[in-house]
Structure 1
Amino acid sequence: MKNNIKYPIKAVSDLTGLTEHVIRAWEKRYNLVIPDRTETNRRLYSKDDVEKLSLLSKASKSGYSIGVISNYSLEQLNQLFGEKEPYIKKEEITATDTTIDNVIENCISFVKILDKKAFEHELYSAQIKFSQPILIEKIITPLIERIGDLWKSGEIRIMHEHISTTIIRKFLTQIIDANLVDTNAPKIIIATPKGQLHELGALIVGVVASSDGWDVTYIGPDLPGEEIAAAIEKINPKVVALSIVYPSDDVLLDKEMLKISRLISSDTVVLAGGRSVLSYENILRKMNVKIISDLNEFRDQLALARLT
């Protein structure tokens, strides 16, 4: 599948070292890049846009006039600095355990010192360097688990866990919004049921679905069954995906799931996954909810749903 990942202007600013004001000014004055626009008129930049702006930033700091080199190609810009290969493509990078661990450890270090900007920059840099499957499955998912374990062990405070959740939530949401899908793409609703407050797993599922060409509607965490059912009735998705992470012993979850099953069409495929999903296996299977053990199985279920 063609890589359609786009980057919001804040991410581009972090990655290039240019302020958002300078990026906008250069666009207007020199027509350097032409970003896509969302329905709300937010700028979205391609990988090549980010690279070009990074090189122009470097050239400007080296004394070059932007007006003179504004029409240079990526290859020409790289030649200014004696680089034969203008760009290391994601597929050319070997994602060794060491490089992945470095990203995770850097993120954790930034969380501990509450360096929000450095944490965000590390995530956006990883998005540039690694393919999306590696980014999500080898970096983001283990990072979330590590942060949760550190909080449980008392090595970090609640505030550390909250700020990391806020940053990762924003990062994942931007990936979902930036993945371009066809107007006739199959639809999926993603949520967490009432009482399930942890939403990062749901957002990870949203990233995977959007990268596989699904039109994702994420309606949020901790939603009553009737609200999920109302969204299903309005959107009429092929698939509903529910994330169940914590707690694992909520006696009210059975009732919430029953509400959903009674209010939606039997044609709607309902998937459930997450760290605590097996704790509710009996009730989920009675309602014909398909339990997902990992992201590969989730992708398989999406592929099957496309055929129905």
Structure 2
Amino acid sequence: MNNIKNKFSIKDLENLTGIKAHTIRIWEKRYNLLKPKRTGTNIRYYDLASFQKLLNVSYLNNNGYKISKIATIKEQEIPDLVRKIASESNLESHAINAFKLSMLNFDQALFYNTYESLLKEMDFEDTFYEIFIPLLTEIGLLWQTDTISPAHEHFLTSLLRQKILINTEKVQSKQINKSTKTFVLYLPENEIHELGLMFINHQLVSKGYQSIFLGFSVPMESLKDLQNYYDEIIYVSYFTVKPEKADIDDYLKDFSKLLVNTTNTELWVLGHMLNSIDLDNLPSGISPFNSIQSLIDKV
């Protein structure tokens, strides 16, 4: 059974490339850059080749090429020109497009080749901050708008998870620093989006901190067990979809009462769901962060 997504609406193209549907139609009619197909019931759609071409056209346009100029370039020469520009500058945008293609095609080889090319130009940490975080943000939006299926998201995130684990293992042998802090990383119950938390674990371990990664869907009550073993704990959590808006305030209040009951215990939290609450009136001992980088900077 062929699971590759090979039919796209113009709204799909807008979501995937960031180019407005109105602009796509102009490029199509005025410059003949795309040639939509039609189903048996006369509904317009675009194939995978059209999507790939639009990514390349957008890339060239963002790098100073006018659409009128791009329209004169032979179709088979466009990918070569994109690769040439990407090798000289703006590697990030090209890599994100390549990862999108690998996701839509379930193409592991393209993912690995793109990743290895990036590592020739930057280290893993920079790759995650500059490529993977923007990519994951886009993937989240694509999933919300039904442009991609859960299978696409799981395919990509499983490969990213693999890379984080490999790189975390590489830094595990670093000597633990003399800090008395122990970081305990967990996700609340029914929260399963762990990539951000995994990368925080990598960053903490690479800096020599004691970091205990508990993973997803951890009951609050079970966290109290850690306090029998460590004197100074900073719990770190990532609220992507849980707790739900109506429950976040109560969750944080309960956490504060149950766990942040000494001067040596804190909760550091980040994630999309924090947008739903008043961050200026959080319970004592709970600190919000707007990004992974800002959290790591405080360590």
Counterpart contact for 1:188–1:215, Cα < 8 Å: yes
Correspondence for 1:183 among 176, 179, 183: 176
Counterpart contact for 1:188–1:216, Cα < 8 Å: yes
CA deviations on 1:130-176 (whole Å, 9 max, x unpaired) are 13442121111011111111222222111001111211122112222
Cα displacement (A) at 1:127: 3.6
Q: Please name the residue that 2:288 is paired with.
A: 291
Measure the CA separation in 2 of the matches of 1:107 and 1:242.
27
Cα displacement (A) at 1:283: 9.5
Correspondence for 1:272 among 255, 260, 269: 269
Measure the CA separation in 1 of the matches of 2:178 and 2:198.
19
Calculate the TM-score normalised by the size of structure 2: 0.61
Q: Please name the residue that 1:75 is paired with.
A: none
Q: 1:120 to 1:233 in 2, by over 3 A?
A: farther
Matches within 5 A, 1:210-249: 210-236=205-231, 238-247=233-242, 249=244
Cα displacement (A) at 1:232: 4.7
Correspondence for 2:136 among 115, 130, 144: 144
Measure the CA separation in 2 of the matches of 1:95 and 1:273.
35
Calculate the TM-score normalised by the size of structure 1: 0.59
Cα displacement (A) at 1:289: 0.5
Cα displacement (A) at 1:118: 3.0
Cα displacement (A) at 1:198: 1.4
Matches within 5 A, 1:158-197: 158-179=150-171, 180-184=173-177, 186=179, 187-197=182-192
Q: Please name the residue that 1:64 is paired with.
A: none
Q: 1:128 to 1:208 in 2, by over 3 A?
A: farther
Matches within 5 A, 1:24-173: 98-173=90-165
Q: How many residues align?
A: 209
Q: 1:190 to 1:95 in 2, by over 3 A?
A: farther
Measure the CA separation in 2 of the matches of 1:97 and 1:205.
28
Q: Please name the residue that 1:60 is paired with.
A: none
Cα displacement (A) at 1:287: 3.7
Q: What secondary structure is seen at the aligned counterpart in 1 of 2:255? A: helix
CA deviations on 1:83-120 (whole Å, 9 max, x unpaired) are xxxxxxxxxxx998720111111111111111124324
Measure the CA separation in 2 of the matches of 1:245 and 1:263.
22
Counterpart contact for 1:112–1:160, Cα < 8 Å: yes
CA deviations on 1:33-82 (whole Å, 9 max, x unpaired) are xxxxxxxxxxxxxxxxxxxxxxxxxxxxxxxxxxxxxxxxxxxxxxxxxx
Counterpart contact for 1:169–1:200, Cα < 8 Å: yes
Verify: 1:260 aligned to 2:252, yes or no.
no
Cα displacement (A) at 1:291: 0.8
Q: Please name the residue that 2:58 is paired with.
A: none
Measure the CA separation in 1 of the matches of 2:294 and 2:88.
24
Measure the CA separation in 2 of the matches of 1:250 and 1:197.
17
Q: Please name the residue that 1:200 is paired with.
A: 195
Amino acid in structure 2 at the alignment position of 1:122 = T
Measure the CA separation in 1 of the matches of 2:130 and 2:88.
10
Measure the CA separation in 2 of the matches of 1:155 and 1:176.
32
Q: Please, what is the CA RMSD of the aligned residues?
A: 2.8
Counterpart contact for 2:191–2:216, Cα < 8 Å: yes
Q: Which runs of 5+ in 2 are unaligned?
A: 1-85
Amino acid in structure 2 at the alignment position of 1:183 = I
Cα displacement (A) at 1:276: 1.9
Q: What secondary structure is seen at the aligned counterpart in 1 of 2:240? A: coil
Measure the CA separation in 2 of the matches of 1:259 and 1:221.
19
Q: Which runs of 4+ in 1 moved over 6 A?
A: 94-97
Q: Please name the residue that 1:209 is paired with.
A: 204
Measure the CA separation in 2 of the matches of 1:301 and 1:261.
21
Identity percentage over the alignment?
A: 17
Counterpart contact for 2:118–2:127, Cα < 8 Å: yes
Cα displacement (A) at 1:274: 1.4
Q: 1:267 to 1:157 in 2, by over 3 A?
A: same
Relative CO higher for 1 or 2, CA cutoff 8 Å, sep ≥ 6? 1
Q: 1:205 to 1:284 in 2, by over 3 A?
A: farther
Q: 1:107 to 1:291 in 2, by over 3 A?
A: same
Q: Please name the residue that 1:56 is paired with.
A: none
